[in-house]
Amino acid sequence: MKKVWRPFWSYDIQKTEQMISELGQEGYLLVRMNRWKRCFFFEKGMPAALSCQIGYSRLKNETLSEGLLEDGWRKGVQSGRWYIAVNEKQPMLLKTFPSREGIIKRSLQCKYLFASILIYLSVIAIFIASMFSVSFFQNTSVEVEESPLWFIPITAGALAIILGMFSVYSFLKLNKLIKSFSENQDPSKRNEAFSKEREKHLINKRELIVKRKIGWMYAPDQLEKWLEEKERKGFHLYRVSRTGTVFYFKKGNPRQVRYCADYQNISNEQYYEMHRDAGWKSVFTSKSSLQKWTIWSREYGALEERPNLYSDKIHRLKHARKIVFSYSLLFLPITFVYLLNLSIFISNGSNFGFRGLNALNTVMYTICIFMFGSFVLRTWLYYGRLKKSSAGQSHQ
């Protein structure tokens, strides 16, 4: 039995996978892992060149999708929600890979936790530093009271420094991990990415076209229509920026591609694997862990029927209602608060005149009301268009 201790293995998933594969080639096969003790246990056997990929699933003992099983993947060992999938094929011969979505979501939650700790420690440090600064600049003497419990503040300070250093290290490592997985999330796109320098060169030669689309999530049907029209004109969607507002198109031959913008409150690995197994490619996934937008694409032939992510019209209307209610709950209270403040400023302006800060606030609140109100209105218009379209299909 060989035991390998990796205290920060979940921060370096790729290196951990590489370690397991290399030991497998030496004849050490992974038989058990302990996520709490950060240990991996191997038994001596026959050398095997296995592909392995670490996954994290919200549901314990969740089985792999049918597509992964058909491609030869199987779960090797599992500890809690962590599991290691193995495949006897080499990576270049594989068509599918287990989703990294579970790891990205968990890493994001851990990253936010460490960021909160850093903010809390920074606020305390700034508060203490400001007290000493005031005393220093005002030439106020600082009196130190001797106490038999002096070791408590010193120990707390030392622990705070250690916790702060660990939080900085964890934040940076998790950020790097999330970035690497987000850029290579869809295995079908792993070999299509250009370097930043190559992208700039293609943009200067106008072989890569950049277009901005802001606020498309309030009218996703119009985004789908816009992207499909671009494809028919020979502009193939190459990638979408991390913010989801900048779209990069490569020049090519006209083709028919169906795009679907899907909104999920909570998504899991099965969600991505299910649609990828059905032939869809994810071209964009937002980073939010609670409200997640994914743009799916699927090319289809001239004689084929235009595919839909969800064939059931009731499901599509339910999906649209979810978008409408989510954004209405988010933006309507904000709009009403701004309306209330605007009425106060208009009342004050009527009595004392619109001058200075009062006039500026009135203009700013008016702009915010129109902006947030338009978000709500656009989602309801989207729902109305979809409902009308579904009703038209029912009468045919």
pLDDT for position 290: 57
Q: Tens digit of pLDDT for each residue in 273-329?
A: 788 878 888 888 887 655 678 899 999 988 888 888 887 788 888 888 989 988 898
Residues 6 or more apart whose Cβ sits within 8 Å of residue 219: 378, 379, 381, 382
pLDDT for position 286: 82
Residues 6 or more apart whose Cβ sits within 8 Å of residue 180: 14
Helix axes 313-352, 356-395, angle to 10 degrees: 160
Distance, in Å, from the CA atom of 299 to the CA atom of 280, rounded to the nearest integer, reads 8
Place of tokens 């203009």: 363
Q: Tens digit of pLDDT for each residue in 327-359?
A: 898 889 888 888 888 887 777 777 766 666 677
Provide the 3-class DSSP secondary structure of residue 329: helix
Residues 6 or more apart whose Cβ sits within 8 Å of residue 280: 260, 296, 297, 298, 309
pLDDT for position 163: 93
Q: Please, how many CA atoms are within 13 Å of residue 378, restricted to the half-sphere of its CB? A: 18
80 — alpha (psi -120 to 50), left (phi > 0) or beta? left
Distance, in Å, from the CA atom of 207 to the CA atom of 201, rounded to the nearest integer, reads 9
**Model confidence, pTM:** 0.59
pLDDT for position 261: 92
Residues of the chain with pLDDT under 50: 188, 191
Under 8 Å between Cβ of 224 and 260: yes
pLDDT for position 78: 86
Distance, in Å, from the CA atom of 90 to the CA atom of 53, rounded to the nearest integer, reads 12
Extract the tokens encoding 245. 């507002």
